[in-house]
């Protein structure tokens, strides 16, 4: 098979991958490349889609730069409009058609141009082309648009901390029957298949519909847990999708680890988070660029996966320029539930990624577990911080406490050598833009400091993201740091601290909170649909390590929360096989918590209410999601009508996203506000606006629901009509309208009103809640 030239792993600069592993991998890669180059010279290298395993050969290692124009060569993703006779073409017929767009089958070097011919995820292909060749191609009948391949962003923010747990001391394993028939596709950086999380004890054989392939080779092989493994990064199809990054193994273990260290993972209020779909089968697809991501979606859909988890993103452009969004629409049309990371761009406004309405967009929350260290100051004040150091490693004797920093930025952040700190606890300001916590730790250690107290930046506020460090390090919130600094300054060189590690504690209050880094709405590209949809545990979570068979690491980011929600989606697929992906999302959203464990609105890193642009509907509540009462469903054709209604899209752009010719005039257009979404977000430019929603009864046949609206300010009128819904049977649908009105919009320009619409059952305990967001533009 033919695959693009290599690309550096994106977003990886702060990861520490041990050198031996990298070198070994590199040597294997070079060896493999040489073998493969020889084989490639002997073969004509057609697309992977129409070939069996033995012929799938990567050509990495061939030197493609032999002609003058080839300096401009790059992989382009080309979107095509299928002519009517191609609509149900086979993959090989499609590939012949795709090849007809290429100026020549191969480059001067002999390297084939075609990288991937796609069957489903987009209508089109990836090929090596120059910009001039793309321009020439644009004149051909059927060409829609093309853009260069681009690297995926891995949505993690962490330096792995190795917990050195072994399966033997991880407590009780509890295998549930949940999700045993479900296949979850993990599109990420590959897998460490020898990790104990992926043993297949008690897991049945793959479902009969499974058509996927396994490219793991001895001693690693697929089993009933990992049932598929494919490679779509620069090493090419056929390569072994092993994980030399750490991200993919972690994500796979969060979504469907067979072994749950209950003692250490307590991500969700109602029991263990990781392993909620402990019985699910995993299908691994390794990708690092858009072209490989599309190939992964293509395969996952064809292979018969039920759920796809995506902890990567592409730049959040309009949908026709975002291949992840397009491929995910194809997956949704094939009834796959797609859970995506909301990105780690928070807390900045409109930092949300993966905001298409056909995916579940998941933000990250902190959990009710803390690795707590008490700090007793010499003046009697007490603070709590968090540390990865276990009891025994944090010094227990009273230490002098110093802040080297007043006056100098370098000293404040402990980025210069420090004097006079021997044996002391050193307070350092975190400043990730200029220095990593690990470098700060090294400076403190080299200056003979005994421990570091790391002050959180103001932006990260009270979100404490724990990372491994070279000396005992206690992270403290920004607010606490200001009070501790006051003490250090007034104590005139006589400040002291005594640290007491309390180990893991549970039921931290108030929880959950929104992690500072979690991507925030409003989305700039989806026409105003509220995103993220929900938040789920994503800070300081434990999962499988890529570097040993028993090691666990701690990781943070929306990369972690997306697979949590994928596993909940997998569970709902088992309990409600008839539900569409939109119905599953509705169940998750309308049953989530918008209040924390203190019954107050969920707060963000500032300690203030987080709001709908941070939490979406709220924090996931898996057990309630299983029994939502009512669901807001959406059919694939509704998404097309929504696309037709998005302002500014040309016919080509709609066709590229829909992967077919769309006649918007006959298929219809709806505004984003009218999509039957479980949240309601409207822009109120006049004095009133009405939107319609339809709910389906998934609860007891005879049931009555009454509308309640909460949280809106007096000047914003909200009227629900009808405000009572009577259902006679299960599956029955009823529609209602919600009218927002304001007497004088000019007076309230720029205001954002948030509230809740609840359908409260009078005949059962169901409460079906939708967030309401009204913006007065």
Ligand X SMILES: *[C@@H]1O[C@H](CO)[C@@H](O)[C@H](O)[C@H]1NC(C)=O
Binding site for ligand X (CB under 6 A): 63, 65, 157, 172, 174, 176, 430, 432, 457, 459-460, 465, 516-517
Contact 193, 249 (CB under 8 A): no
- Contacting residues for 87 by C-beta, under 8 A, at least 6 apart: 660
Of the candidates 344, 178, 195, 341, which has an alpha carbon nearest to the alpha carbon of residue 273?
178
Q: Which two tokens stand for residue 499?
A: 């640290």
Which helix H or strand E contains 652, and what residues bound it? helix 651-658
First-residue to last-residue Cα distance in the chain: 52
Calpha distance 118→125 (Å, rounded)? 5
3-state secondary structure of 747: helix
Cross-strand pairs, 591: none
* Nearer to ligand X (CB atom), residue 46 or residue 512: 512
Assigned token pair, 351:
């930092």
Determine contact, residues 488/361, Cβ cutoff 8 Å.
no
- Phi, psi at residue 363, to the nearest 5°? -90, 170
Tokens of 695: 């709910």
Measured from the CB atom, the residue of 37 and 726 that comes closer to ligand X is 37
Catalytic residue among 149, 188, 233, 533: 188
Concerning whether 323 is annotated as a catalytic residue, the answer is no
29 included as an active-site residue = no
Query: Of 544, 568, 573, 556, nearest to 514 (Cα)?
Result: 556
Peptide bond into 49 cis (omega under 30): no
Q: How far is the CB of 456 from ligand X (least distance, A)?
A: 7
Nearest to 474 by CA among 411, 540, 426: 426
Annotation marks residue 559 as catalytic: yes
Give the shortest CB-297-to-ligand X separation in angstroms: 29
Whether residue 533 contacts residue 360, with contact meaning beta carbons closer than 8 Å, is answered with yes
C-alpha radius of gyration, the chain, whole number: 27
* CB 177, min distance to ligand X, A: 8
Closest among 218, 200, 229 to 303, alpha carbons compared: 229
Q: How far is the CB of 157 from ligand X (least distance, A)?
A: 4
Question: At how many degrees (to 10) do helices 558-575 and 247-256 cross?
Answer: 30
Smallest separation (angstroms) from ligand X to the CB of 557: 8
Grouping H, G, I as helix, E, B as strand and the rest as coil, residue 561 is: helix
Choose between 128 and 693: whose C-beta lies nearer to ligand X: 128
Q: How far is the CB of 431 from ligand X (least distance, A)?
A: 7
Letter string b/e over residues 165-198, b meaning 16 or more CB atoms within 10 A of that residue's CB? bebeebeebeeeebbbbbbbbbbbbbbbbbbbbb
Min dist CB 230 to ligand X, Å, is 26
Minimal distance in Å, beta carbon 62 to ligand X? 9
Smaller CB distance to ligand X: residue 465 or 584?
465
Q: What is the DSSP string of 265-333?
A: ---BTTB-STTTTTT-EEEEEE-SBHHHHHHHHHHHHHHT-SEEEE-EE-----GGG-HHHHHHHHHHH
Q: Which of 247, 478, 576, 766 is catalytic?
A: 247
Query: Tokens 């009933």 identify what position?
Result: 224
Closest CA to 691 of 713, 717, 671: 671
C-alpha–C-alpha distance, residues 476 and 478, integer Å: 7
The CB-of-755 to ligand X minimum distance in angstroms stands at 30
From the candidates 311, 559, 561, 679, give the one annotated as an active-site residue: 559
DSSP label of 207: P
Please state at what angle helix 323-333 crosses helix 636-645, rounded to 10 degrees. Answer: 140
Query: Count of residues for the chain?
Result: 777
Q: Contact, 563 vs 339, CB < 8 A?
A: yes
Minimum distance, C-beta of residue 30 to ligand X, in the bound complex (Å): 11
C-beta of 197: minimal distance to ligand X in Å? Answer: 17
Q: Give whole-number Cα distances, 623 to 20, 569, 582, in Å.
A: 44, 12, 18
Active-site residues: which are they? Answer: 188, 247, 559
């Amino acid at each position: 098979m033919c695959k693009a030239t290599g690309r550096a792993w994106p977003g990886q600069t702060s990861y520490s991958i041990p050198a031996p592993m990298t070198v070994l991998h590199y040597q294997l890669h070079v060896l493999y490349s040489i073998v493969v180059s020889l084989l490639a010279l002997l073969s004509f290298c057609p697309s992977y889609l129409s070939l069996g395993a033995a012929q799938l050969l990567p050509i990495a290692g061939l030197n493609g730069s032999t002609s003058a124009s080839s300096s401009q060569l790059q992989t382009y993703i080309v979107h095509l409009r299928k002519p009517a006779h191609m609509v149900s073409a086979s993959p090989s017929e499609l590939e012949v058609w795709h090849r007809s767009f290429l100026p020549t089958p191969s480059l001067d070097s002999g390297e084939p141009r075609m990288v991937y011919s796609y069957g489903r995820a987009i209508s089109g292909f990836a090929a090596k082309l120059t910009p001039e060749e793309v321009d020439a191609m644009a004149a051909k009948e059927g060409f829609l648009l093309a853009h260069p391949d681009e690297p995926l962003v891995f949505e993690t923010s962490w330096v792995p901390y190795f917990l050195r747990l072994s399966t033997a001391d991880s407590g009780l394993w509890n295998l549930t029957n949940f999700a045993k028939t479900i296949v979850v596709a993990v599109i990420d950086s590959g897998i460490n298949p020898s990790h104990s999380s992926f043993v297949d004890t008690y897991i049945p054989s793959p479902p009969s519909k499974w058509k996927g392939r396994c490219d793991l080779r001895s001693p690693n092989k697929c089993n009933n847990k990992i049932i598929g493994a494919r490679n779509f990064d620069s090493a090419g199809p056929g390569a072994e999708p092993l994980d030399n990054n750490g991200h993919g193994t972690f994500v796979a273990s969060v979504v469907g680890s067979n072994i749950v260290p209950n003692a250490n993972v307590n991500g969700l209020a109602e029991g263990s988070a990781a392993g909620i779909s402990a019985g699910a089968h995993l299908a691994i697809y390794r990708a690092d660029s858009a072209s490989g991501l599309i190939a992964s979606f293509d395969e996952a859909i064809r292979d018969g996966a039920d759920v796809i988890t995506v902890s990567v993103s592409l730049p959040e452009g309009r949908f026709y320029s975002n291949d992840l969004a397009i491929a995910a629409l194809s997956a949704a049309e094939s009834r796959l539930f797609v859970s995506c990371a909301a990105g780690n761009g928070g807390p900045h406004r409109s930092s949300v990624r993966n905001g298409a309405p056909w995916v579940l967009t998941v933000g990250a929350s902190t959990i009710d577990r803390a690795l707590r260290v008490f700090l007793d100051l010499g003046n009697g004040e007490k603070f709590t911080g968090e540390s990865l150091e276990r009891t025994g490693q944090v010094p227990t004797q009273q230490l002098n406490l110093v802040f080297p920093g007043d006056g100098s930025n370098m000293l404040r952040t402990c980025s210069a050598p420090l004097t006079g700190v021997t044996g002391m606890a050193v307070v350092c300001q975190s400043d990730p833009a200029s220095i990593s916590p690990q470098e700060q730790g090294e400076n403190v250690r080299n200056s003979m400091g005994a421990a570091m107290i790391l002050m959180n930046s103001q932006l990260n506020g009270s979100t404490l993201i724990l990372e491994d460090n070279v000396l005992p390090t206690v992270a403290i919130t920004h607010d606490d740091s200001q009070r501790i600094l006051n003490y250090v300054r007034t104590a005139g060189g006589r400040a002291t601290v005594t640290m007491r590690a309390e180990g893991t504690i549970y039921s931290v209050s108030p929880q959950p909170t929104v992690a500072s880094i979690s991507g925030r709405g409003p989305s700039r590209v989806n026409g105003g649909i509220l995103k993220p949809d929900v938040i789920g545990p994503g800070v300081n979570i434990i999962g499988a390590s890529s570097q040993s068979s028993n090691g666990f690491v701690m990781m943070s980011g929306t990369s972690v929360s997306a697979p949590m929600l994928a596993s909940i989606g997998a569970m709902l697929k088992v309990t409600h096989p008839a539900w569409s992906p939109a119905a599953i999302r509705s169940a998750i959203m309308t049953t989530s918590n918008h209040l924390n464990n203190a019954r107050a609105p969920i707060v963000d890193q500032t300690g203030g209410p987080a709001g709908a642009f941070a939490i979406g509907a709220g924090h996931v509540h898996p057990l309630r999601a299983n029994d939502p009462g009512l669901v807001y469903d959406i059919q694939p054709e509704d998404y097309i009508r929504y696309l037709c209604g998005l302002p500014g899209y040309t016919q080509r752009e709609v066709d590229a996203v829909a992967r077919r010719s769309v006649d918007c005039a006959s298929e219809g257009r709806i505004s984003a506000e009218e999509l039957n979404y479980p949240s309601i977000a409207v822009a109120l430019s006049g004095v009133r606006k009405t939107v319609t929603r339809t709910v389906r009864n998934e609860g007891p046949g005879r049931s009555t629901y009454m509308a309640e609206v909460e949280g809106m300010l007096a000047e914003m009128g909200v009227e629900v009509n009808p405000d009572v819904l009577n259902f006679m049977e299960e599956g029955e649908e009823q529609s209602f309208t919600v009218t927002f009105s304001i007497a004088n919009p000019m007076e309230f320009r720029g205001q954002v009103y948030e509230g809740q619409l609840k359908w409260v059952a009078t005949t059962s305990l169901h409460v079906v809640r939708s967030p309401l967001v009204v913006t007065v533009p």
